[in-house]
Amino acid sequence: MRQRRAWYGFGALPGVERDTGQIKSFSDGVFSIAITLLKFKVPQPSGRSESTDLLHALLGLWPSLFPYILSFVMIGTYWARHHYIFRYIGRQITC
């Protein structure tokens, strides 16, 4: 029976356990910064603080809120897929 050789990747040493935790933490930080930067483009509604006035003000800002919501959903989707891929990579490394 042929023994499988382990692949250690670029710059890794044999016997050193490989973990995806650091790269996942770094990428989580990048995604959170991207989502935070989206907030700077969201306009603030002006007017009184009654709930009906706020609803009408938000509906008036709909054309500028739609790209924010769409971008938030897209970044969230990429983040979720990124975690799924690293879960798969983690299973492959331990094999």
Domain layout of the chain by residue ranges: 21-94
Q: Which two tokens stand for residue 88?
A: 């798969």
Which residue's structure tokens are 């995604």?
31
72, burial (CB in 10 Å: exposed 0-12, middle 13-18, buried 19+):
middle
- Statement: residue 49 has pLDDT above 60: yes
Q: What is the pLDDT of residues 39-48, one digit of tens each?
A: 887 777 776 6
Q: Which two tokens stand for residue 25?
A: 């933490």
Q: What is the pLDDT of residues 10-41, one digit of tens each?
A: 555 555 556 677 888 888 899 999 988 888 87
Q: What is the pLDDT of residues 77-92, one digit of tens each?
A: 999 998 888 887 777 6
Give how far Cα 60 sits from Cα of 11, 41, 50, Å: 55, 16, 15
Average per-residue pLDDT for the chain? 76
Confidence of residue 63 (pLDDT cuts 50, 70, 90): confident
User: What is the distance between the alpha carbons of residues 29 and 82, in angstroms, rounded to a whole number?
Assistant: 13
